Amino acid sequence: MFAPGASRYLAASALALVVLSFLAGLIGVGPLTVAVVVLWAFWVFFAVFLRDPRRTPGEGVVSAADGRVREVTCEGARWRISVFMNVTNVHVNRFPLDGEVEAISTSGAGFRPAYRADARHNLQCSYTLATSIGTVEVVQMTGIVARRLVPFVDVGSRGAKGGRLGMIVLGSRVDVLLPADRAAPTVRVGDRVRAGASTIARVMG
């Protein structure tokens, strides 16, 4: 299964590569053959990158992204749980809880390395969700390579826990901000998590 909208592009490019492969076979080994081999390698890379496996939601609050936990901090009335994604992770981001999208906003500028603290100033897309534990925010951040943030939802959309929220093209970072009086983190820095499946916080009250 592939990320929403990706199948038609992968199918079209695969068809074009099949035709090129046929032509390369007729011509014989040469520059066209080398080009076809390189293009197939890129196709396989993007097919893996755009994968979107089915996930069974875990208990409590689940991770919005695949990757490794890079930060768990309490910022006043909210917990921030930050996950760094590399290019081998699934890049589809998911709802951490059942909720309705109240707002989607973009802010920031620049493309600093996503694992650094100052990446909070990078170009980002924030989703404000109304949930059973109050307002939850999911923030997609760009990085050096990842420069495209793709929402799958609009304001007013409702999503189930583990449902598809958006995608970051070529990795980067996703932060989930939770009300500190209603959620308690269950992960630590360095833990590996899977979007929609791994529990990152338990619900209190």
Q: What CATH architecture is 61-203? A: Distorted Sandwich (2.70)
Residues in Cβ contact with 148 at an 8 Å cutoff, skipping those fewer than 6 apart: 142, 168, 169, 170
The pLDDT score that the predictor gives to residue 44 is 67
Give the tens place of pLDDT for each residue, 118-172: 666 678 899 999 999 999 999 998 866 556 788 999 999 999 999 999 988 776 8
Residues in Cβ contact with 69 at an 8 Å cutoff, skipping those fewer than 6 apart: 81, 82, 83, 187, 188, 189, 190, 191, 192, 193, 200
The pLDDT score that the predictor gives to residue 87 is 77
**pLDDT exceeds 80 at position 100:** yes
**pLDDT exceeds 60 at position 1:** yes
pTM to 2 decimal places: 0.76
Look at 91 and 108; give whichever has higher pLDDT.
91
Look at 190 and 12; give whichever has higher pLDDT.
190
Q: What residues are annotated to the active site?
A: 172
Task: Kindly tell me the burial class for residue 33, based on how many C-beta atoms sit within 10 Å of its own C-beta (0-12, 13-18, 19 or more).
Answer: middle
Give the tens place of pLDDT for each residue, 32-70: 777 767 666 665 666 566 678 889 999 999 999 999 999
Torsion of CA 137, 189, 152, 55, to 10 degrees: -120
Average pLDDT over residues 29-33: 71
The pLDDT score that the predictor gives to residue 2 is 52
Give the tens place of pLDDT for each residue, 74-84: 999 999 999 99
The pLDDT score that the predictor gives to residue 181 is 96
Residue 1 DSSP one-character state: -
Domain ranges of the chain: 6-49, 61-203
